[in-house]
Structure 1
Amino acid sequence: ALILRPLATRKKIIKADRNQDKTGKAVGLVAGCVQQVIGKDINSASIRLLQRRGWRVHLLSEQACCGAVEHHLGKEALAEKRFRQNITDWIKHVDELGLEALIVNASGCGTMLKDYGHLFRVDESLAADACKISAMTRDIAEFLSEHRDVTENGEMEQVRVAYQSPCSMQHGQKIDTQPVELLRHAGFTVQELPEKYMCCGSAGTYNILQPAIAAELGTRKAACIDQADVDVVASGNMACMMHLRQFTDVPFVHTAELLDWATGGPKPF
């Protein structure tokens, strides 16, 4: 069974600096619900990365679940309630703060937010706002790739990284090459895993509802990781990282944590 162990508990999530340059461009960070508890360092690294590049970062004050869990479980009434509340709350932030993007660093959540527009396409009261939220949502790797200015750090060449591509990112959002390109541009020696198209077994709530099959998939993915002989595995989805940690001793970190380290942040593993 999956044991919910913290990925990192060294510090509390850093808050967006209230003294940020008010003339800079602004983005909102959807910090997530579970991730705020067991993956705080991912959010902290994301904030540092964005601020280092001159973006004002606002943590959205209403940090409700994106609704993906209820949606996976077929609890559509509960999921729709979350969707509606998020759209209503977040569109206010977008307008009041002049946000140019909503940054997500958990690809499962990002895939869900990008689907809001489709889900409410025939709802006259929410269709426009839902489409706007979906259109503004960017995975952090996607956003950094669109605004790339990471300076290559030659010292990182000695760090061997395997990139694990989450299904929700490569299939759900069609974000495939950008994270690898960002890591290589930052100086890391990166290799993609064999069978990268295969699910690791996490799959939303699948690892809880179908633990035997999820474990088989996790073991298969972990074998690819162990054969790669790397120092660390980078991923864009905390759920994948948590699941795979059960099957290999190779440390897992988020792509944003490695990019943060390469540009002045703390070593994440």
Structure 2
Amino acid sequence: MSAPATEREATGVFSPGRARIAARTLRVDRWWLSPLLTVLGLSVFIVYATVRSFVRSAYWVADYHYLTPFYSPCLSESCVPGSSHFGTPFPELPMWIPLGFVVLPFLLGFRVTCYYYRRAYYRSFWFSPPACAVAEPHARYTGETRLPLIIQNAHRYFFYVAVIVSLINTYDAVIAFHGKGGGFGFGLGNVILVVNVVLLWTYTVSCHSCRHVTGGRLKHFSAHPVRYWIWTQVSKLNTRHMQFAWITLGTLMLTDFYIMLVASNTISDLRFVG
């Protein structure tokens, strides 16, 4: 016999059949610290990235070909000369459209639908739940079966785009080995760009979707030794996916901030060659 309609509809923490505990939690430790730090960390990045994506200044260093990741690829005629590595197929854009509009929505989608970030903002922003053994304030739970959360199921497709963007960022880092008078050049900005792109690759390939693509659908690993080896390496990186998720937020801001300082002539790039 099926459960009464009222029980089927009330699927949240306070639904019938759940323990009746008046207190929100019996935990006595600082369970709220982790979600609080997550809110602060994500908020800092969101505010910084939003502001920098719209200001349209100090994102390109012409002397050394440094381009911030927040504006790559720059495909509009609004881009400053030299910063459009792949041409300008789009006309000038109004100020309310960021110059990196082609890839920014996909990168946002990749981060938002990431398995780790889901856990992070579900707990810290939506309190669903805020911590283990802490009651959430929601009376119903529908999972990721309805809008907007059903979009989470598109994570693997955002992953494919993220791979392409990582290739573009790699190209940007390579052509940045440019001297002020032309030819080969190497400075602190190159170190920052290369470290950032390597960490971005590490975050991307440590993704659960990458692990699934490389070997998640294989039934017999013994018949696919190469894919099995790749799968094992990705699996090792996958155990550090949370750390890479946070580290790359920091390196993205650091890379952009350094390029902004150099592009605005606030500081000079420390040059080793050229």
TM-score by length of 2: 0.29
Determine which structure has more spread, i.e. the larger CA radius of gyration: 2
Larger RCO (CA under 8 A, 6+ residues apart): 2
TM-score by length of 1: 0.29
Q: Which has the higher helix share?
A: 2
